[in-house]
């Protein structure tokens, strides 16, 4: 599956589900947000890097994210900590793409 179609569909589904679900618990002060991490420098990311080296990568991704590096685990956790903090108390139904600009948005 060179284009990771199942993975991309799952991410799109999560984004849509989060937006729709957010309205239900909002009157109770419960916020629903989703976090979409991009390629992250972890042992699990080795498979992605192997695919890039072999030329069998997701055509929607870039060889190097526009910010010039793979994400670090703390890039993802910092975004998650923001979303659960009081500083994000007015956010619900959002999808945060934390990918260094890897996937173009229209």
What is the spatial distance between Cα 91 and Cα 37, in angstroms, rounded to a whole number?
18
Q: What amino acid positions are annotated as catalytic residues?
A: 7
DSSP 29-88: T---EEEEE--BSSGGGHHHHHHHHHT---TTS-SS-TTSS-B-HHHHHHHHHHHHSGGG
* Cα of 78 vs its chain's centroid, Å: 13
Bridge partners of 96, per DSSP, are: 35
């Amino acid at each position: 599956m060179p284009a990771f179609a199942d993975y991309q569909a799952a991410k799109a589904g999560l984004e849509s589900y989060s937006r729709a679900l957010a309205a239900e618990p909002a009157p109770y002060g419960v916020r629903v947000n989703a976090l979409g991490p991009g390629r992250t420098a972890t042992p699990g990311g080795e498979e992605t890097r192997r695919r890039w080296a072999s030329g069998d990568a997701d055509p929607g991704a870039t060889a190097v994210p526009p910010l010039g590096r793979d994400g670090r685990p703390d890039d993802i956790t910092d975004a998650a900590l923001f979303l659960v903090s009081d500083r994000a108390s007015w956010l619900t139904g959002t999808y945060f793409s934390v990918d260094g600009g890897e996937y173009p948005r229209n």
